[in-house]
Amino acid sequence: MSKNKSSRNKTIELSENDVVQLETKLLTPDSKLDKENLINKTILGDALEIIDYLPNHFVDLLFVDPPYNMNKVFGAKSFKEMDSGEYEVWVRSWLSKLVDKLKPTASVYICGDWRSSSALFRVLDDYFQIRNRITWEREKGRGAKTNWKNSSEDIWFATVSEDYYFDVEAVKLKKKVIAPYRDDSGKPKDWSEEERGNFRLTHPSNLWTDLSVPFWSMPENTNHPTQKPEKLVAKIILASSRKGDVILDPFLGSGTTSVVAKKLGRLYVGIEMDKYFACVAERRLEMAETDHRIQGYADGVFWERNVNPENNAADDINYQRLLL
Ligand SMILES: C[S@@+](CC[C@H](N)C(=O)[O-])C[C@H]1O[C@@H](n2cnc3c(N)ncnc32)[C@H](O)[C@@H]1O
């Protein structure tokens, strides 16, 4: 735990003792695994090798947040930027091996920034049916003097076949109504009057602007450099899996996918090659035993940023910070 940490700073950090205790929970396989052995586990190792140990056709939802094509340090290891052709070869080296691990009804989501996105599209297109590209506004990003600030990321959505599950009702967005329209009898048209204001449930689009990247006062925050928001992963899991389905994340990082899967009653398998972050995932999974809250998701709906006082408290703070 770092010294001088403000009491409002909720960042999850591990001591050396924590790592020693948590690493006993990790799987470190060196031969084929059965589904029973690996469900709800974090596997410590190189995904490119571990994928070969996984059984075939056991995954309902594959969520992949790979290193993007840029120089980035992940704990003890780092990823080196390549030319886009080399990056495409690297993506193909693991995605091609994951195809057999999926059920014929499975869905696939893969994240990337603008630089990585075209390589991801080309490889996905060779193995899957691409259905959409979600773009999310990441907000945070370094300003540049000679370029546009990079504040968005893509998430490609694909399926193995035409037969796939998608529950749009589970991912509706609750928005404030700006211009409340009433019918001839004076009743609200497609919106409702509530204590907190006037709201409308809307169909989620492929442009996501209601997310904050995790930051220091959010309980989900860790010291992983590229942690995804739980709210983002919750949208994907709720839309594209049922309770009890198996979700695989081969680049688990701080554990967001497994944690959200657990909170939403799904089964999970995660692979991460950095021991510290694999242990952070286990710590978050312990915390999820008793705390199932997902910031920005409450009462079965996703709330627009800055609206739900109970669940978006940190979103509000972040939003105000961004306005400064
Ligand atoms: C973009 S991050 C994932 C972040 C994650 N979605 C989260 O919310 O924390 C990619 C992760 O993949 C891990 N990684 C990179 N190459 C790997 C490999 N060959 N096998 C397993 N993990 C790898 C890195 O250590 C890093 O934590």
Least confident of 67-71, 246-250, 293-297, 304-308: 304-308
Res 177: pLDDT: 87
pLDDT tier, 306 (very low <50, low <70, confident <90, very high otherwise): low
In terms of C-beta density within 10 A (0-12 exposed, 13-18 middle, 19 or more buried), how is residue 18 classed? middle
Least confident of 33-47, 52-66, 169-183: 169-183
Centre of ligand 1 to C-alpha 198, Å, is 41
Closest protein CA for atom 14 of ligand 1: 251
Q: How many CB atoms neighbour CB 240 within 10 A?
A: 25
pLDDT of residue 305 exceeding 90: no
pLDDT of residue 77 exceeding 90: no
Calculate the CA 227 to chain-centre distance: 8
274-304 per-position pLDDT tens digit = 999 999 999 999 999 999 999 999 989 998 8
Q: DSSP string of 228-254?
A: PPHHHHHHHHHHH--TT-EEEESS-TT
3-state secondary structure of 188: strand
Centre of ligand 1 to C-alpha 182, Å, is 50
Q: Amino acid identity, residue 74?
A: F
**Which residues partner with 248 through β-bridges?**
62, 269
Residues with CB under 6 A from ligand 1: 46-48, 65, 67, 74, 77, 224, 226-228, 251, 253-254, 256, 271-274, 277
Q: Is the dihedral of CA 228, 72, 12, 149 positive or negative?
A: negative
pLDDT tier, 313 (very low <50, low <70, confident <90, very high otherwise): very low
Residues 302/46, Cβ–Cβ less than 8 Å: no
Ligand 1 atom with the smallest distance to the CA of 249 is: 6
Centre of ligand 1 to C-alpha 253, Å, is 4
Ligand 1 atom with the smallest distance to the CA of 46 is: 20
Instruction: Show the domains of the chain with their CATH numbers.
Output: 16-166+205-292 (3.40.50.150)
Res 303: pLDDT: 86
pLDDT of residue 311 exceeding 50: no
Q: How many CB atoms neighbour CB 231 within 10 A?
A: 24
Centre of ligand 1 to C-alpha 305, Å, is 27
Centre of ligand 1 to C-alpha 224, Å, is 10
Centre of ligand 1 to C-alpha 195, Å, is 43
126-140 per-position pLDDT tens digit = 999 999 999 999 877
pLDDT tier, 175 (very low <50, low <70, confident <90, very high otherwise): confident
Ligand 1 atom with the smallest distance to the CA of 271 is: 21
Q: How many CB atoms neighbour CB 132 within 10 A?
A: 11
179-235 per-position pLDDT tens digit = 788 888 888 888 888 878 889 899 999 999 989 899 998 999 999 999 999 999 999
Q: CA 261, CA 243: separation in Å to the nearest integer? A: 9
Closest protein CA for atom 7 of ligand 1: 227
